[in-house]
Structure 1
Amino acid sequence: MTSSSPVDGAHDGSPGGPSRGLHGGPHSGPDGGGRDRGDERLPRPPAFAFPAQTWKEIVHLLANLPVGIACFVFTLVWLAVGLGLSVTVIGLPLLGVGLGCSRFLGRLERARARALLSMRIEEPSPLPHQPGSGLLGRLWTRLRDPVGWRSTLYALIRLPWSVVTFATVLTSLFVAWPVLPWIARGLTHVDRAMVRGLLFPSDELERRIAELESDRGTVVDTAAADLRRIERDLHDGAQARLVALAMGLGLAKEKLEEDPEAAAKMVDEAHGEVKLALQELRDLARGIHPAILTDRGLGPALSALAARCTVPVTVTAELPERPAPAIEGIAYFTVSELLQNISKHSRAHTAKVDVWRAKHRLLIQVRDDGRGGATTDGGTGLAGLAERLGSVDGLFVVDSPAGGPTTVTAELPWHHRTGAAAGAAAARRRRKV
């Protein structure tokens, strides 16, 4: 008893036999029919359908060589010229320019790593700007830039590795393409490690250094402005009155025997000058640190402050205890300056001050029904307040549409923190904002 072979049936295409391929699978042909034996023995074409991320990694590795050569040559030239001429006047400025360019190249490399290696990288803090530091101060800041120097090192050590990655990937494309995804992944792991080690911001330390340098400049400028204000107030106010008082008493002494009535009148005038001088000294002392703030706390001090405002002000202070003295003083002078702005510029009819504690923060909100349009741009007094609060890990927000009303919200730490903890907390809040 004989039977037909299934392969033969597939080969002769007889309708009675099933259509099977070389391995007996049904519908081996693309159209569901049979296929010639010779066609079935041909090798399958290579499948380059790698995932998109694999192709990005391959492109990154192939681009390493041209990018690495360009960065290496540029870095080597400016570094050699700058160091060679460092004994002259132009050497150090050349180094500063080169470090600035290296910082820019590092930014481009971070962008390339984000696009092709899917890395999440934050940009480092910009160089701190210190007003009044002069050309030499800015140059010294540039020469001490850790981001620029790390980017320079990255450009110098990348070239040998770029040659290795380019040659390996280019060879694997034609010889070892089945294992190319694993090769690319292993090579890019090294690239990622180099980027993390040299181009990543150094956690919060680098940001905190920049913040502290900026805050130091703000504090120094504020202290200098306060000293100039105190000197001006003493010179133009109490000092001038005391000089006039001394002269008046001297004239009264001379006229005491000749014209007692005139002398008595001059003494009365001097007595009035003494009262005015005492009042100016009290106002000056209140501007430095009011006694009521020291003795009774922030709530009563703000109520006394509101009583002197030309606009009716309602004060609500819900403070179960007193914050740190430094924070208390900053809060007092912040409200004082805001109320002065309301008196001078807002054309408001009423104002309100609310102060309360929220966990470990002191919150202040000052509102008025004036014309609005207040802003922290353009070097205004509000910009100075924002910088002053930022120097102690605080926040300052102005909401003042044209036509009003204006709402200013300030947030301060209940107890002033210094060091890395304050910097990390400030960075977290800025990211949330």
Structure 2
Amino acid sequence: MTTESDPLPPPRPALDAVTWREVLFLLLNLPADIIGFVYVVTVLSVGAGLTVTVVGLPVLALGLLGCRVLGTVERARARALLGVRMEEPRRLRRGTMGFWPWLWASLKDPVAWRHALYFALRLPWGVLTFSVTLTALFVAWPVLPYLTRGLTTVDRAMVRGLLQPSDELERRIAELESGRGVVVDTAAADLRRIERDLHDGAQARLVALAMDLGLAREKLLDDPHAAAKMVDEAHGEVKIALQELRDLARGIHPAILTDRGLDAALSSVASRCTVPVSVTVDLPARPAEAIEGIAYFTVSELLQNVSKHSRARSAAVDVWRAADRLMIQVRDDGQGGADVSSGSGLAGLSERLGSVDGLFVVSSPAGGPTVVTAELPWRPRQ
């Protein structure tokens, strides 16, 4: 009988939903680990044994892809029953990959090999956890919550250690692969734009010019006055064609940027804006050519947006270096409402900067003002 002076017994942990999910995970370890172990041993053994034939390496590669699938299922089980939060490893890039590049990438895939190691090591642990948990359900009920928590702590460590992305490097690889796709798409779009501008602009004008000069040559003896007039008209067409070519070259890479740097190039862009723009460039040296070009075209497109959409009375451009970053800020006092997520040109700028490890932030409340801040990695000019 307990009296008032007797010490209270220690509280017993409740068998809550978390404990029962852990119990279920531990009981499922054995069938899951048997399946994984048998699959890995069978596939790797058969694949390795067949390497003396032409089908050995493809079988091994397909087996490793299957290890990825098993790992996906195991991560889902850990998330659902243990509440483990983890990212998915990067996918094996396919795209336009041919058979041999795919085969090589699959055979050296570190994610698949870590998954194979996970299932190869799990069978003894699965037998142990299944046996201990099943026994504890009938003979060690009071300590069941403590027991399951200890066992699943080991499970969590194994899942995180072998089934989630191994380190920051894999995540960076995935980001860089995505960025490379953006760069390729952007370059292809720019090439199509240049081809279209040449075909519809300068090329068409030069074809017409050649025809006019041919007619003038035919009239040179019969009607010199008319021929001279046609030559004068052709001279005007030449000037227009040259201006179109200069504009096109400026859109590819302006000569002023190459010769005089960002300060002069951005001042030239600002002079063509429909609103007054102040430009301040404070850089200790010129950055790498690629970074300088991206900075120039970023400001150029932003000022075009100011001219077309902002209804601003003034704008300002500031460029400076902060530690290892090239900072760009473009401000205007217009109507605001610019939104990167709307699929406008701002989204394209954001993707371009992201592809070179840059940042792009837009603050544009309704009614203004609009402030666009961009960051690029600082790389010195070689």
Scaled to the shorter chain, the TM-score interval is: 0.7 to 0.9
Question: CA shift at 1:31, angstroms?
Answer: 3.3
Question: CA shift at 1:69, angstroms?
Answer: 2.8
1:69 aligns with 2:69: no
- Indicate conservation of the 8 Å contact 1:62/1:166, yes or no: no
1:266 aligns with 2:230: yes
- Indicate conservation of the 8 Å contact 2:320/2:326, yes or no: yes
Task: Give the match for residue 78 of structure 2.
Answer: 109
1:212 aligns with 2:176: yes
Pick the structure with greater CA Rg: 1
Q: Which has the higher contact order (CA 8 A, sep 6+)?
A: 2
* SS at 2:221 equivalent: coil
In the alignment, the residues of structure 1 paired with residue 280 and residue 77 of structure 2 have an alpha-carbon distance, to the nearest angstrom, of 52
1:88-124 Cα offsets, whole Å, 9 max, x none, are xxx999x989956852541441464456xxxxx5413
- Indicate conservation of the 8 Å contact 1:255/1:262, yes or no: yes
- Structure 2: give runs of 5+ residues left out of the alignment: 47-54
Question: CA shift at 1:416, angstroms?
Answer: 7.8
Task: Give the match for residue 390 of structure 1.
Answer: 354
Question: CA shift at 1:64, angstroms?
Answer: 1.5
Task: Give the match for residue 52 of structure 2.
Answer: none
Task: Give the match for residue 423 of structure 1.
Answer: none
* SS at 1:257 equivalent: helix
Task: Give the match for residue 191 of structure 2.
Answer: 227
- Indicate conservation of the 8 Å contact 2:21/2:81, yes or no: no
Task: Give the match for residue 341 of structure 1.
Answer: 305
Q: Match for 1:334: what amino acid? A: T
Question: CA shift at 1:289, angstroms?
Answer: 0.6
1:142-164 Cα offsets, whole Å, 9 max, x none, are x9586577557646754552231
Q: Out of 7, 19, 22, which is 1:60 matched to?
A: 22
Task: Give the match for residue 159 of structure 2.
Answer: 195
1:253 aligns with 2:217: yes
Q: Match for 1:360: what amino acid? A: D
- Indicate conservation of the 8 Å contact 1:68/1:155, yes or no: no
CA pair 304-386 structure 1, distance change in 2 beyond 3 A: same
1:285-333 Cα offsets, whole Å, 9 max, x none, are 1111101101111011000001111222111111121111110000000
In the alignment, the residues of structure 2 paired with residue 108 and residue 162 of structure 1 have an alpha-carbon distance, to the nearest angstrom, of 14
In the alignment, the residues of structure 2 paired with residue 65 and residue 152 of structure 1 have an alpha-carbon distance, to the nearest angstrom, of 21
* SS at 1:243 equivalent: helix
Task: Give the match for residue 425 of structure 1.
Answer: none
* SS at 1:411 equivalent: strand
CA pair 383-107 structure 1, distance change in 2 beyond 3 A: farther
Question: CA shift at 1:347, angstroms?
Answer: 2.0
Question: CA shift at 1:32, angstroms?
Answer: 4.6
1:254-278 Cα offsets, whole Å, 9 max, x none, are 1111111111111111111111111
* SS at 2:340 equivalent: coil
TM-score, L = length of structure 1: 0.69
Larger relative helix fraction:
2
- Indicate conservation of the 8 Å contact 1:58/1:169, yes or no: no
In the alignment, the residues of structure 2 paired with residue 229 and residue 252 of structure 1 have an alpha-carbon distance, to the nearest angstrom, of 33
- Indicate conservation of the 8 Å contact 1:65/1:159, yes or no: no
CA pair 64-182 structure 1, distance change in 2 beyond 3 A: closer
- Indicate conservation of the 8 Å contact 1:65/1:163, yes or no: no
CA pair 29-50 structure 1, distance change in 2 beyond 3 A: closer
- Indicate conservation of the 8 Å contact 2:25/2:81, yes or no: no
1:166 aligns with 2:139: no
1:338-396 Cα offsets, whole Å, 9 max, x none, are 11112222222221111111111111111112222211224321111111101111000
In the alignment, the residues of structure 2 paired with residue 399 and residue 158 of structure 1 have an alpha-carbon distance, to the nearest angstrom, of 51
Task: Give the match for residue 3 of structure 2.
Answer: 30
In the alignment, the residues of structure 1 paired with residue 206 and residue 134 of structure 2 have an alpha-carbon distance, to the nearest angstrom, of 88
In the alignment, the residues of structure 2 paired with residue 129 and residue 276 of structure 1 have an alpha-carbon distance, to the nearest angstrom, of 48
Q: Match for 1:109: what amino acid? A: A
What pairs up with 1:263-412 in 2 under 5 angstroms? 263-412=227-376
Question: CA shift at 1:76, angstroms?
Answer: 7.8
- Indicate conservation of the 8 Å contact 2:22/2:148, yes or no: no
1:414 aligns with 2:362: no
In the alignment, the residues of structure 2 paired with residue 357 and residue 311 of structure 1 have an alpha-carbon distance, to the nearest angstrom, of 26
CA pair 152-107 structure 1, distance change in 2 beyond 3 A: farther
In the alignment, the residues of structure 2 paired with residue 284 and residue 109 of structure 1 have an alpha-carbon distance, to the nearest angstrom, of 57
In the alignment, the residues of structure 1 paired with residue 73 and residue 344 of structure 2 have an alpha-carbon distance, to the nearest angstrom, of 32
- Indicate conservation of the 8 Å contact 2:36/2:70, yes or no: no
In the alignment, the residues of structure 2 paired with residue 210 and residue 330 of structure 1 have an alpha-carbon distance, to the nearest angstrom, of 22
Question: CA shift at 1:410, angstroms?
Answer: 0.3
Q: Match for 2:27: what amino acid? A: L
Q: Match for 1:229: what amino acid? A: R
**Matched residue pairs, number?**
362
- Structure 1: give runs of 5+ residues left out of the alignment: 1-27, 34-43, 116-120, 418-433
